[in-house]
Chain A
Amino acid sequence: MTDTTATTLETPLIAVRALRKTFAVPDGDLPVLEGIDLEVRPGEIVALLGRSGSGKSTLLRCIAGLIPPSQGEVLYRGQPLVGTNPGASLVFQSFALLPWLTVQANVELGLEARGIGPKERAERARHAIDLVGLDGFESAYPKELSGGMRQRVGFARALVVEPDVLLMDEPFSALDVLTAENLRGELLEIWERHEFPTQAIVLVTHNIEEAVLLADRIVVLGTNPGRIREQIQVVLERPRDRRAPAFEQLVDRIYSTMTGREAEQPATPARPNGKREAVMLPHATVDGLSGLAEIVHAAGGTADLADLADDLSLEVDDLLPLVDACVLLGFADVDHGRVTLTETGTAFSTADIQTSKQIFATVARDRVTPIRTIRHALERSDDGALGEGFFLDLLRRNFSEDEARAQLDTAIDWGRYGELFEYDADTDEIALSSTEPRRG
């Protein structure tokens, strides 16, 4: 590998320059990716790591040439993309196999598109199928295969066209833990045997350990909008041992990058024009966040995030929103990948249902801006009730259509639990609660 890196160090395979990607919302454009500069060089595996909403899949699709950037550009071997990236193949999270075609026909698809004759097609497809260890399954239909086998077909289909860059969109996240582990190993094996001329892999993941296990370089993306927070070179020897101290240290470090506030701008600065940056509610249910608080309490009031994720076999995408919610409500603090319960948090997790509802209501009303905003609006309305459309309109100025809905749903969930307001699904109205618990 060293020889290729040495000769082509000057021209990166893929270069992303000042990329910005926005999606249209009623009040203008909502950025999902901002100021992305990234290069992919021959011989490396790059992991794009981020939480849901960090735009990592969007970035991968920009690199693939499936969607155009709003600003900036993507270059392949120095040439700006005009269509889909000619030197790349994509492996999908959901496999995207055609169920009506056999394994062989699925793999041949891309070759046929290039006008390669049936004989050569069959031969090359068989070779690729052998390589991923599926020989004997050529005439099987995807339905007959297990998840791991299907993703192998996905690999073969991507590799058979001999791409320079293999793009992978969370390729292991639809598989069970053991299968995923096995397939990661095989991917590395194929990569290190150099049987295909593929020179680089770009992998999207939200799994921190997966990134550390596979990548030479980890690009950590922040959320809202997605910016590159940190690029980490991984210098661990392969095969990498999850139990090695250096491995664990790196995982912890990334956890603190992904949860830390220090890397982000101050939480909600009042802008000069008086317009404040929107506070985003983490997508966490009350049940989820109180479950987390109880577990942390049971663990002695403090816990390592990586261990928590391991013990609960939770993905980062499931765990971090809960952690964020606890932090937002003042139930917990996070520091260097450790979560620690505050006094309020301890009180919340140990109290009986009525008391913890009251605690929740108090902090939600005092600390959570969107909830407070809704309460204010309701108190000022004539009959203490407003249509949800009113709040959705407000939210749409800062969030996409789906996100605005998700934000309101979370706010309603929290508000209902704290009995701060009620929601009538028949009339789509939010109203002040009639049975509000007295302030404790």
Chain B
Amino acid sequence: MTPRPTFPSRDALARLPFSLVDLVLLAGLIVLLYVVLRVGEGATLSYAPSGPVHVSTDPSNLPYDAMRSLIRMFIALGLSVLFTLTYGYAAARSRKAERVLVPALDILQSVPILGFLSVTVTGFIALFPGSYLGLECAAIFAIFTSQAWNMTFSFYYSLSSLSRELDELSRMLRLTRWQRYWKIEVPAATIGLVWNGMMSFGGGWFFLAAAEAISVLNHNYQLPGVGSYVAAATAQGDLGKVGLGILTMILLVLAVNVLFWRPLTAWSERYKLEESVSAERQRSFVLDLLRRSHWPHHLGRLRRWLAEPLGRAMRWLGRDGGKLPPPKPATSRSDVIFNLAVVCAIAFGIYEMSAYINGTVGFGEVAKAFGYGLVTLGRVIVLVIISTLVWVPIGVWIGMNPRVSRLAQPVVQVLASFPANFLFPFATLAFIKAGVPLNAGGILLMSLGAQWYILFNTIAGAMAIPTDLREAAATLRLSRIQRWRRLILPAIFPAYVTGGITAAGGAWNASIVAEIVTYGKTTLVATGLGAYIAKATQTGNFPEILVGVAVMSVFVVAFNRLFWRRLYMIAQTRYAL
């Protein structure tokens, strides 16, 4: 396997550090959150579906539950792809749209998704009164929000970094817009999109597990699925059944990998832009099997049969190269008006929101949430430091031993996808038995999912150290300390930074499920912003949800911009190999 850093949208990091636009957009996003909340608040719960509150933990239901979960994941993936292909295109195509859509995406991917869950659940239930469809939609939406932003970023960057030659080719041949999109732009973005999709899909399991069993507004909602199976088993305190759920989950992850992602990544090789045959190729025996069947042939015929009339029908979208690009893109009056309108709308929203908070919980609540945020921030920092100290040496050891890394890579891939919240029951039980307070134990829970990113990226970074540099270090007889200081640490630094950002982001999100945990009849609570949001969600306290999620977003965005992105810039300029 080729080593690849696992942080999906590292292109996003290349954007300039912090600007006024980002501040405005962050404010805008919080306003949007406020609007969604106010709408959700209006939805009364009399529409709630009636039905079994508890999922059966009979193991014979597991295959069915697993399928339900899987279908949810794939529907979300499909929606994410659709969203990506349109939103990403709009952002790359229109300068006005770009100015809002790109920073918005950038911030959206730092917002704690789980904090939104309560809002979306009530909203969707209101849309489909009395039916489980609302719950399904909410779960799918949660997975969608964990996948879409990264994929869209990848697509947007592929579009906007399209090589000059291909752009000129399209304009010179006056390709139709439709042709340009499907023959040049989408294929050029395919590899990035597939890899991003795979990573995001892996991350999606975590949110699936969290969204299948959720208590909102003092109601427990459960959808049949692996996630709710494990949740129900945990509530019963049945570790054996939790183990069964975990086993099912591992099988699911493996199956999806072998049957779907491996073939897809191997297939996407044909969209590589370098025109030479690369030495290392993705292989998949499933794909080889498919290729030997008649399916590709029939599919190709069907595609050709459809493409011709469709291409003809889409000619109205226009052709490329009809107009010379303007000599200088000057800011026009309409740009100014557009900017002004955006700023005004956001300012009005902020004003409205302030009035709302002032009229309900009061501004003291913001200060309180901020204090909790500092506590959770402390946990995140401890987590990143400990994970670094533990996993960087191990990752380097794995990455620099080809034999070990060949064995470790598949394990690592499963770990990347495995939802850490499935392991919470075991950890919780251990905390209860050993009397560990969750204030400390929460760090371990949060790290169960987050730490792996540091490991993967370190492995990838270590694998990418050129052999001649390692040989040079060996011939120079560098001492162990010199070798680490002069070669290894600088070489893995860029990969480590991307891992660190992902780990920290994941930890913030995980805090919402890790700062309050229940096992059987015992509930452990930690002090922190995650617990604050989780409590507000359970009791349906909308103003508190708003304050909690907004404060957490501010923390994540500020931490990313002021700390990680600077490190990333240093990594790119000084330590890029």
A residues neighboring B (CB under 8 Å): 24, 61, 64-68, 70, 81-84, 88-90, 92, 94-101, 109-110, 112-115, 118, 141-144, 150, 157, 161, 426
The answer, yes or no, to whether B322 is at the interface (CB within 8 Å) is yes
Q: Is the CB of B324 within 8 A of A68?
A: yes
The 8 Å CB contact of B165, one of A64, A92, A109, A142, is: A92
Q: Given contact pairs A66-B172, A68-B326, enumerate 17 new A-B contacts (beta carbons under 8 Å).
A: A67-B325, A83-B322, A84-B171, A96-B165, A96-B169, A98-B166, A98-B184, A100-B187, A109-B173, A109-B175, A110-B173, A115-B312, A115-B315, A143-B277, A144-B277, A157-B173, A161-B173
Q: Judging by beta carbons under 8 Å apart, are B323 and A96 in contact?
A: no
Are A90 and B275 in touch, CB under 8 angstroms? no
CA distance in complex: A100, B270 (Å)? 6
CB-CB under 8 A from A118, the residues of chain B are 308
Contact yes or no, A66 B171, CB < 8 A? yes
Partner of A113, one of B163, B174, B323: B174
Give complex CA distance A112, B462 in Å.
47
What A residues does B323 contact at CB under 8 A?
82-83
Q: Is the CB of B321 within 8 A of A143?
A: no
- Residue pair A143, B276 in contact (C-beta under 8 Å): yes
Give which listed residue, B179, B271, B322, contacts A109 with CB less than 8 A.
Answer: B179
- Interchain CA distance A70-B326 in the complex, whole Å: 10
Name the residue of chain B whose CB is nearest to the CB of A147: B275
Contact of A112 with B311 in the complex, beta carbons under 8 Å: yes
Q: Is there an interface contact between B324 and A109, defined as CB atoms closer than 8 Å? A: no
Q: Please name the residue on chain B nearest to A105 by beta carbon.
A: B183
Complex contact A66–B168 (CB within 8 A): yes
> Which 10 residue pairs across A and B have the least CB separation, nearest first?
A84-B321, A96-B165, A110-B173, A68-B324, A83-B322, A113-B175, A90-B172, A100-B187, A96-B169, A84-B171
Q: Is B262 an interface residue (CB 8 A)?
A: no
Which residues in B have their C-beta under 8 angstroms from that of A141? 270
> Does B478 interact with chain A (Cβ within 8 Å)?
no
Which of B165, B175, B311 has the most C-beta atoms of chain A within 10 angstroms of its own C-beta? Answer: B165
Q: Chain B residues with Cβ under 8 A from A142's Cβ?
A: 275
- B176 interfacial by beta-carbon distance below 8 Å: yes
Expressed in whole angstroms, the Cα–Cα distance for A107 and B356 within the complex equals 62
Assess whether B183 is in contact with A98, with CB atoms less than 8 Å apart.
Answer: yes
User: 14 interchain pairs (CB within 8 A)?
Assistant: A24-B328, A68-B324, A68-B325, A89-B173, A90-B168, A90-B172, A98-B184, A99-B272, A110-B175, A112-B311, A113-B174, A113-B175, A143-B275, A157-B173
Inter-chain contact B272/A84, CB cutoff 8 Å: no
Q: Which of chain A's residues have a CB closer than 8 A to the CB of B321?
A: 65-66, 83-84
Q: Scan B264-280; emit 1 where CB is below 8 A from any A CB, else 0.
A: 00000011111111000
Within 8 A of A (CB), among B268-304: 270-277
A65 touches B324 (CB 8 A): yes
Collect the chain A residues with CB atoms within 8 Å of residue B183's CB: 98, 101, 109
The answer for the CA separation of A94 and B274 in the assembled complex, in Å, is 11
Q: Give Cα A100–Cα B166 distance, bound, in whole angstroms.
A: 13
Chain A CB within 8 A of B327 CB: yes
Query: Contacts of A68 on B, CB cut-off 8 Å?
Result: 324-327
> Is there a chain A Cβ closer than 8 Å to B566's Cβ?
no
- Is the pair B172, A89 in contact by a Cβ cutoff of 8 Å? yes
Given contacts A94-B165, A96-B166, A109-B183, contact A84 B172 (CB under 8 A): yes
**Chain A residues within an 8 Å CB radius of B175:** 109-110, 113
Q: Flag if A83 contacts B271 (CB, 8 Å).
A: no
Pick from B172, B187, B325, B574: contact of A64, CB below 8 A.
B172
**Distance (Å) between the CB of A125 and the closest chain B CB?**
13
Q: Which residue of A lies closest to B321 (CB)?
A: A84
State A113–B321 Cα separation when bound (angstroms).
12
- Bound-state CA distance A316–B168 (Å) is 27
The answer on a CB contact under 8 Å between A81 and B324 is: yes
Q: Is the CB of A99 within 8 A of B271?
A: yes
Query: How many whole Å from A124's CB to the nearest CB in chain B?
Result: 14
Which residues from chain A contact B574 at a C-beta distance below 8 Å? 426
Q: Smallest distance from the beta carbon of B294 to chain A beta carbons, Å?
A: 18
Chain A residues with CB under 8 Å of B173's CB are: 89, 109-110, 113, 157, 161
| Chain B residues with CB below 8 A from A89, complex form | 172-173
Contacts of A61 in B (CB 8 A): 168
**Quick one: closest B residue to A109, CB to CB?**
B173
Among B171, B173, B274, chain A packs the most CB atoms within 10 A around the CB of B173
Least distance between B188 CB and chain A CB atoms (Å): 9
Which of A97, A113, A143, A426 lies in contact with B176, CB distance below 8 A?
A113
A414 to B86, CA, bound (A): 51
A144 to B176, CA, bound (A): 28
Bound CA–CA A99/B271 (angstroms):
7
Q: Which residues of A contact B171 (CB under 8 A)?
A: 66, 83-84
User: What's the least CB distance linking B203 to chain A, in Å?
Assistant: 28
Q: Given A99-B271, A101-B183, are A83 and B168 neighbors across the interface (CB < 8 Å)?
A: no
Instruction: Kindly list chain B residues whose C-beta atoms are within 8 Å of the C-beta of A110.
Output: 173-175
Residues of A within 8 A of B315 (CB): 115
- Measured CB to CB, the nearest residue on chain A to B277 is A143
A118 nearest in chain B by CB position: B308
Bound Cα distance from A67 to B312, whole angstroms: 29
Cβ–Cβ contact A92 & B324, under 8 A: no
Known: A99-B273, A143-B276. A67 touches B172 (CB 8 A): no
Is B319 an interface residue, CB under 8 A from the partner? yes
Q: A66-B172, A150-B275, A161-B173 are in contact. Are A113 and B179 (CB under 8 A)?
A: yes
Report the separation of the CA atoms of residues A118 and B305 in the bound assembly, to the nearest whole angstrom: 11
CB-CB < 8 A to A144: which residues of B?
277
Residues on A with C-beta less than 8 A from B274 are: 99
Which A-chain residue is minimally distant from B323 (CB atoms)?
A83
A84 touches B275 (CB 8 A): no
Residues of chain B lying within 8 A (CB to CB) of residue A97? 275
Query: In the bound complex, how far is the Cα of B163 from the Cα of A90, in angstroms?
Result: 16
Give the nearest-CB partner of B328 in chain A.
Answer: A24
Q: How far is the CB of A113 from chain B (nearest CB, A)?
A: 5
Q: Find chain A residues with CB under 8 A from B308 CB.
A: 118
Known: A84-B172, A113-B176. A100 touches B271 (CB 8 A): yes
Query: Across the interface, which residues of B come within 8 angstroms of A114, CB to CB?
Result: 174
B328-A96 in contact (CB<8A)? no
In whole angstroms, what is the CA distance A88 to B174 when docked?
11
- Within 8 Å CB of A84, what residues of B? 171-172, 174, 321-322
Q: Whole-angstrom distance from the CB of A314 to the nearest CB of chain B?
A: 25
Rounded to whole Å, the gap between the CB of B57 and the closest CB of chain A is: 49
Min distance, Cβ B175 to any Cβ of chain A, angstroms: 5
Set of chain B residues within 8 Å of A88, measured between Cβ atoms: 172
Q: For residue A82, which residues in chain B have a CB less than 8 angstroms away from its CB? A: 322-324
Q: How far is the CA of A85 from the CA of B272 in the complex (A)?
A: 30
- Residue from A24, A61, A94, A112 whose CB has the most chain B CB atoms within 10 Å: A112
Q: Which residues of B contact A150 (CB under 8 A)?
A: 275
The interface residues of chain A lying within 8 Å CB-to-CB of B166 are 96, 98
Complex: how many Å from CA A109 to CA B273?
18
CB-based nearest B residue for A74: B324
Cα(A99)–Cα(B312), bound, Å: 24
B328 near A92 with CB under 8 A, answer no
CA distance in complex: A115, B325 (Å): 24
Q: Given A64-B172, A109-B175, A113-B176, verify A95-B324 contact (CB < 8 Å).
A: no
Q: How many angstroms from the CA of A67 to the CA of B322 in the assembled complex?
A: 12
Q: Is the CB of A70 within 8 A of B273?
A: no
- Complex Cα distance, B165 from A92, in Å, reads 7
User: How would residues 135 to 173 of chain B score, 1 for a CB under 8 Å from any chain A CB and 0 otherwise?
Assistant: 000000000000000000000000000010110110111
The docked-state distance in angstroms from the alpha carbon of A9 to that of B258 is: 67
> Does A112 lie within 8 Å of B179, measured CB to CB?
yes
- Provide the B563-577 mask, 1 if CB < 8 A to any CB of A, else 0: 000000000001000
- Chain B hits for A426, CB < 8 A: 574
Please name all residues of chain B whose beta carbon is closer than 8 Å to the beta carbon of A113 when the two chains form the complex.
173-176, 179, 319
